[in-house]
């Protein structure tokens, strides 16, 4: 069993496996994304209070969820790299950073577009919004730190430490609406005992959440393959792969 797990530390194995999985994830992502958007933007009824403005949640909520999920993946991968010196863990962390930053930016921008008609302003220094903005800065700081340090190993270790330390912001984002009096609405889809959304709205939202997750993993595998080729470009197996 442990030998099978150790195979995921092998660059050739991960490169070949990700090449087979990535296209499947891409197709599934496209199908779910189109289905979720159709059900959310066309089939789902208008909200009795917000009208059609609420439909931005079918992009905002999945993006916000993924902004936190990706950072946790990045932090865990960075911790594995720091403890066990696993190169592939560092590649995963490095590949995740731009994707997570993109999700965070989409979450902030879509939230701002919703906030203008609902709150009457594009931005407020709400606890949830402020901590989400800090998350974007953590992503950008991680990327900038890796590019600012010329020595690759030092850059990887320094950025990994930042990623691990910054993970403390994730529970702050998640529980901010419970810990402080904020304008941001409380949890909806995580209230599984009695969700605050009608099934006609909840179903496409959950589909979009899964679609965004598949979008992340698809992009992650593509970027990981590129990262492996860049780091292993002098290895004999890379030459053989490129010949095939």
In 39-56, which ranges are continuous DSSP H helix? none
Quick one: 160 exposed, middle or buried, by C-beta within 10 A (0-12, 13-18, 19+)?
buried
136 touches 47 (CB < 8 A) = no
Q: CA–CA distance from 9 to each of 13, 84, 85, 194, 201 (Å)? A: 8, 11, 10, 42, 41
Q: What is the residue-level pLDDT of the chain in tens, covering all 244 positions?
A: 456 667 788 999 999 999 999 999 999 999 999 999 999 999 999 988 788 888 999 999 999 999 999 999 999 999 999 999 999 999 999 999 999 999 999 999 999 998 888 778 888 888 888 999 999 999 999 999 999 999 999 999 999 999 999 999 999 998 877 666 665 566 555 544 455 678 899 999 999 999 999 999 999 999 999 999 999 988 889 888 887 7
Q: What single-letter DSSP state applies at residue 46?
A: P
């Amino acid at each position: 069993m442990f030998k099978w797990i150790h195979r995921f530390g092998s660059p050739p194995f991960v490169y070949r496996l990700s090449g087979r999985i990535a296209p499947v994830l891409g197709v599934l992502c496209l199908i779910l994304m189109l289905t979720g958007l159709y059900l959310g933007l066309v089939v789902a009824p208008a909200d009795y209070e917000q009208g059609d403005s609420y439909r931005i949640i079918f992009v905002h909520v999945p993006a916000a969820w993924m902004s936190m999920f990706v950072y946790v993946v990045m932090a865990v991968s960075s911790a594995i790299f720091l403890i066990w010196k696993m190169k592939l863990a560092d590649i995963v962390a490095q590949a995740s950073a731009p994707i997570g930053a993109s999700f965070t930016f989409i979450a902030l921008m879509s939230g701002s577009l919703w906030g203008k008609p609902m709150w009457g302003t594009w931005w407020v220094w709400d606890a949830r919004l402020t901590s989400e903005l800090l998350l974007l800065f953590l992503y950008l700081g991680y990327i900038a730190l890796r590019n600012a340090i010329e020595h690759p190993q030092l850059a990887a270790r320094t950025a990994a430490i930042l990623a691990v330390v910054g993970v403390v912001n994730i529970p702050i984002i998640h529980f901010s609406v419970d810990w402080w009096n904020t304008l941001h609405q409380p949890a909806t889809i995580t209230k599984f005992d009695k969700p605050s959304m009608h099934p006609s709205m909840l179903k496409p939202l959950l589909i979009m959440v899964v679609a965004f997750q598949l979008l992340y993993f698809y992009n992650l595998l593509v970027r990981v393959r590129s990262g492996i080729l860049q780091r292993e470009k002098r290895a004999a197996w890379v030459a053989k792969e490129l010949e095939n």
